[in-house]
Amino acid sequence: KAGVTQTPRYLIKTRGQQVTLSCSPISGHRSVSWYQQTPGQGLQFLFEYFSETQRNKGNFPGRFSGRQFSNSRSEMNVSTLELGDSALYLCASSLGGRAAGELFFGEGSRLTVL
Amino acid sequence: GENVEQHPSTLSVQEGDSAVIKCTYSDSASNYFPWYKQELGKRPQLIIDIRSNVGEKKDQRIAVTLNKTAKHFSLHITETQPEDSAVYFCAASLNDYKLSFGAGTTVTVRA
């Protein structure tokens, strides 16, 4: 079956702009998580959505937001971009049961802020 | 929140030798500990996970041990092969989907 699909794969923005990233999970997966990956920092948790509701949230400023649609597809938005927002943004889907389980990651959206 | 520290940051081993990566976590309530492998330019993939009711788990050449009292867990790779070269991430969570990842260990297997 198809894996997790993220679009766009690469994008370049300038400071102050906003960006929207999209994630299509594996069919049947109801949980979508977002992570920011930067060199040396590993993966930083942004938020997790399940059945269109934000179930978990990380320690990122309010400029970072997300949502999930009824078909489980998810988007994340970053407003007022800063240079430090340059990173690989990874989306991961999972079945989303009560107990934590395997995350299936997409290939990521690489954001460069100039 | 949960804080996960991972050591070493880089590890170079001779093919056939063993590799060990260690992680510590801060929240004693954490009870789910997965390990992900990320090859260069690829997406992270789960290689093994362990829950707090188990002390050790093995899958072929990979094993994970958990010491809840000391709040640390380790990944052991035996008989390393070139395809084991990658970045390995440990993570911890309160059995939910809010995973706290370590900073990663870059493993290089020398032929």
| Angle value at C-alpha B99, between B97 and B102, nearest 5 degrees | 165
Cβ distance of A58 and B98 shorter than 8 Å: yes
**Residue B111, min C-alpha distance to chain A (Å):** 26
Give me chain B's average pLDDT, please.
95
- State whether residue A84 is helix, strand or coil: helix
**Model pLDDT, residue B52:** 85
The string of pLDDT tens digits covering residues B82-109 is 999 999 999 999 878 889 999 999 999 9
Sheet holding A74-78, edge to edge: A5-7, A19-24, A74-78, A64-68
**Model pLDDT, residue A1:** 67
Split at pLDDT 50, 70, 90, the class of A17 is very high
Which of chain A's residues have a Cβ under 8 Å away from the Cβ of B1? Answer: 59
* Chain B residue at shortest CA distance from A38: B103
**Residue B18, min C-alpha distance to chain A (Å):** 23
DSSP bridge pairs for A44: A36
CA distance B100 to B10: 20
Phi, psi of B84 (to 5 degrees): -80, -10
**Residue B33, min C-alpha distance to chain A (Å):** 10
The string of pLDDT tens digits covering residues B10-45 is 999 999 999 999 999 999 999 999 999 999 999 999
Q: Where are the beta strands (DSSP E) in A1-114?
A: 5-7, 10-13, 19-24, 31-38, 42-50, 53-57, 64-68, 74-78, 87-94, 104-105, 109-113
Nearest by CB to B104, from A42, A90, A96: name it. A42
* Chain B residue at shortest CA distance from A32: B97
The string of pLDDT tens digits covering residues B40-87 is 999 999 999 999 888 999 999 999 999 999 999 999 999 999 999 999
